[in-house]
Structure 1
Amino acid sequence: MPPPGANLEQACAQMTGWIVRIDPALEVHAGMTYEDELWDIRNYGVFKEIQPGDEVFFWVNGSNDKTGFRGYGRITTPLEELTPESRAKANWLNRDEGGYTHRFRFTGLSPEPTSSPTRFGELKAMLATALFDRATGHRITDEDDLEKLRSMYDDAPFKGWDFEYPTSDDETAQDPHTDYTHTPGVDSREQTLSAITVRRGGRKFRRSLITAYEGRCAIPDFDAEGALEGAHIDPYNGDETDHVQNGLLLRADIHTLFDLHQLAIDDDYRVILSEELRGSMYSDLHGASISLPANNAKRPSLAALERHRTRCRWLTAAHYS
């Protein structure tokens, strides 16, 4: 297994958002895209750097009362070229004559903002990022700008976070001195298998991981606590799965890739990437050793990690090399 590359942290440190502009004459598309969790584009060049884990904000652009932000989500796939079969799955009013060439998919985080600029000039004044009047989309990498965009949505997972974390071992979701056990088939909430449940983890669950990992992402060594989430290894199935051994402290985009089963961890606690991700900005992660809690009793369960790997359909012996 090769050692991790020198640019590991650099490759993963920057979070990216995208503002997608919608013609006010096609405002109905804003509702369609949030319901179908996909977006088709014409201008491939503007969006060619989209990656899973990026955030997307949909903006209806006009000069009337329709102008403003609509849905907000997290991108789950790279751009894919449209085929006649995939194009037919969209419900756009101009599906056949719109000239769409590519698609990305996303998970919806909030359908409507509680507040929004009502003119494009107001949006440009609000953000430090340069926005161009005729562009079909805008890439946002400035963290302050991303926080301003997220702040408009009450349901945004980046709002209302608890920044006071315990330093003792007392506040854990489950007793850390008892081993995590998995009970198949127990589920205390309804789940849709085709969707990722976007959650930072329950407060105690996340706090237990913040304490165990000393406030640093397991993949890579990233220490901005506000961007870290409690990721379940076995899917969340009630309180018994809120156990520190069933968790990893991950940055939001890495959490998404883990939940999408595009990234796995082997028995030596090293990262395995899907073939798709090996050719992306995340490539330096492949083979990297994850950061582990100093307390062995809080390290992730190898059995749970193995079950997660069985859900990675792409994973074969070749991917371990």
Structure 2
Amino acid sequence: MTSWIVKIGKTTPQHWVIARDDGFWDVREPGPFRDIAPGEDVFFWLSGTGFRSWVRATSSLYMIGPSASPAHWTDDHNQYSHRFEFELVSEDVTRPATWGEMQVAAGRNYAPPAPANPVNEPATSAFVKSLFGNQADITFTTIPVAYQIGEDMRERAERQIALRRGQARFRNSLIDAYRGRCAVTDSAVISVLEAAHIDRYFGTHTNRVANGLLLRSDIHALFDLGLITVSSHLTVQLAPWLRDSEYGNFHDKPLTVPLHPAYRPDSDALRRHRKGCEWYHQ
């Protein structure tokens, strides 16, 4: 898999902070950016300084349309035509590295930093990753099943919760879109609200707000098991054997949806979820 080094201009160092908070990077010309794919590592390089951050692309490059989320660039917004989205992995640079050091580590000469430099050598990518320390919770991709003697169970639990909640930016985006309340129960206890995928999680590119619901943890489990779904009229539907349970009051309840139309649940994704619930069609 290709990694990428994306250059931030020396005169606009604030662009990284803006991009980090927005969750995307806008470009004026597609150029080499057009080959960036979901799941690929992207390292931002600040001219005159060195590596600034490590992110993982969650989308391919696409044209910025009129309904796209506004960026917060301090220069002319109209100059940007394309965008790719990302999740933060780390901005904890443990030591600076020069472009020359990277060339030595890679065993090859890289051209001076361009707007986007593809990196196809695993050794180069490994060297750049080694420059970073603490990583965000999206890096907890594997959790040991068996207990290991001496393992810190509190840390294990925290990692499991982080993994269950999904990637931090996706969950935070859903919390913002749903105004901090479960879409089914209206619970506002943030610590038990989770980022649920409507279409199953197949990588970070499925982390779109319209492909998510903010759900209380028990409702999330029932939704994933296909025991709760959402009708085409956006009402909550329960499997028949749940309707006499403590969850019965939620049957036929209107789903709480975001105010912004672009963030409302994707109707095709909901249809696919209903299709997977055999009881719904009986």
TM norm structure 2:
0.52
Cα distance 1:129–1:30, how it changes in 2: closer, same or farther (>3 A)?
Answer: farther
Secondary structure of the structure 2 residue equivalent to 1:26: coil
How many residue pairs get matched?
194
* Segments of 4+ moved more than 4 angstroms: 160-163, 191-194, 257-263, 307-313
Say whether 1:26 aligns with 2:7. no
Say whether 1:116 aligns with 2:60. no
Cα distance in 2, alignment partners of residues 193 and 161 from structure 1: 10
Cα distance in 1, alignment partners of residues 141 and 223 from structure 2: 31
Cα distance in 1, alignment partners of residues 105 and 70 from structure 2: 36
Aligned to 1:77: 59
Q: How far apart are residue 121 of structure 1 and its match?
A: 2.7
Q: Deviations over 1:115-147 (max 9, x none)?
A: 121x33333333346532262111123222222
**Aligned CA-pair RMSD:** 4.7
Cα distance 1:196–1:144, how it changes in 2: closer, same or farther (>3 A)?
Answer: farther
Structure 1 gap segments, 5+ residues each? 1-14, 174-187, 198-235, 239-247, 264-300
Structure 2 matches for 1:37-186, cutoff 5 A? 37-62=23-48, 67-83=49-65, 86=68, 89-96=70-77, 99-117=79-97, 119-128=98-107, 131-133=110-112, 135-156=114-135, 171=146
Q: How far apart are residue 161 of structure 1 and its match?
A: 8.9
Q: How far apart are residue 37 of structure 1 and its match?
A: 1.4
Structure 2 matches for 1:305-316, cutoff 5 A? 306=226, 313-315=267-269, 316=271
Cα distance 1:102–1:91, how it changes in 2: closer, same or farther (>3 A)?
Answer: same
TM norm structure 1:
0.47
Cα distance in 2, alignment partners of residues 156 and 26 from structure 1: 25
Cα distance in 1, alignment partners of residues 112 and 24 from structure 2: 24
Q: Is the 8 A contact 1:34 1:71 kept in 2?
A: no
Instruction: State the one-letter code of the partner of 1:23.
Output: G
Aligned to 2:22: 36
Say whether 1:16 aligns with 2:2. yes
Instruction: State the one-letter code of the partner of 1:138.
Output: N
Larger Rg: 2
Structure that is richer in helix per residue: 2
Structure 2 matches for 1:287-302, cutoff 5 A? none
Cα distance in 2, alignment partners of residues 90 and 303 from structure 1: 33
Secondary structure of the structure 1 residue equivalent to 2:204: helix
Instruction: State the one-letter code of the partner of 1:81.
Output: M
Cα distance in 1, alignment partners of residues 115 and 62 from structure 2: 18
Aligned to 2:170: 196
